[in-house]
A and B are shown apart, each in its own frame.
Chain A
Amino acid sequence: MNDSDLIQLLKKDDKLILKKIYVDYRSDFIAFGRKISLYEDDILDAYQDAIITLQEQVITGKLNTLNCSIKTYLFGIGKYILYEKNRKRNKTILSAIDTNEITMIEVPIFSEILTSQQKKIKLGFKQLGKKCIEVIELFYYRGYTLEEITETLNYENKNVVKSQKSRCLKKLKEIIKSLK
Chain B
Amino acid sequence: MENEFERDLKHVISLKKRKEAKITLQELENSISRKKNNPKTWLVAASVVLVTSFLGYSLFFNQKQSSEELFTAYFEPYPNVLEPAVRSSMEELSKKEIYFLEYENKNYDKAIKGFKTLTTKENKSDINFYLAMSFLNKGNHNEALKILELLPEKQNRFSSQINWYKALIYIKQKHFKKATKSLDKLIQKNQKFKGNEALQLKKEIE
Chain A interface residues (CB < 8 Å from chain B)? 1, 8, 15-16, 18-20, 22-23, 26, 44, 48-49, 51-52, 55-56, 59-60, 110, 112, 114-115, 117-118, 121-122, 125, 129-132, 134, 136-137, 140-141, 151-156, 164, 167-168, 171-173
Contact = CB atoms under 8 A, between A and B. Distances in A.
B84 A129 contact: yes
Interface in B1-34: 5-6, 8-18, 21-22, 24-26, 28-29, 32
A167 B84 CA distance: 11
- Consensus secondary structure, chain B interface: helix
A131 B86 contact: yes
Contacts of B11: 114, 118
Nearest to B19: A112
Contacts, number: 118
A112 B85 CA distance: 32
B84 A19 contact: no
Contact of A18 (B8, B14, B21, B86): B21
Q: Which 5 A-B pairs have the closest CB atoms?
A: A131-B84, A48-B25, A141-B13, A52-B21, A154-B81
Contacts of B176: none
A122 to B, nearest CB: 5
A22 B25 contact: yes
B85 A131 contact: yes
B53 interface: yes
A115 to B, nearest CB: 7
B54 A19 contact: yes
B28 A137 contact: no
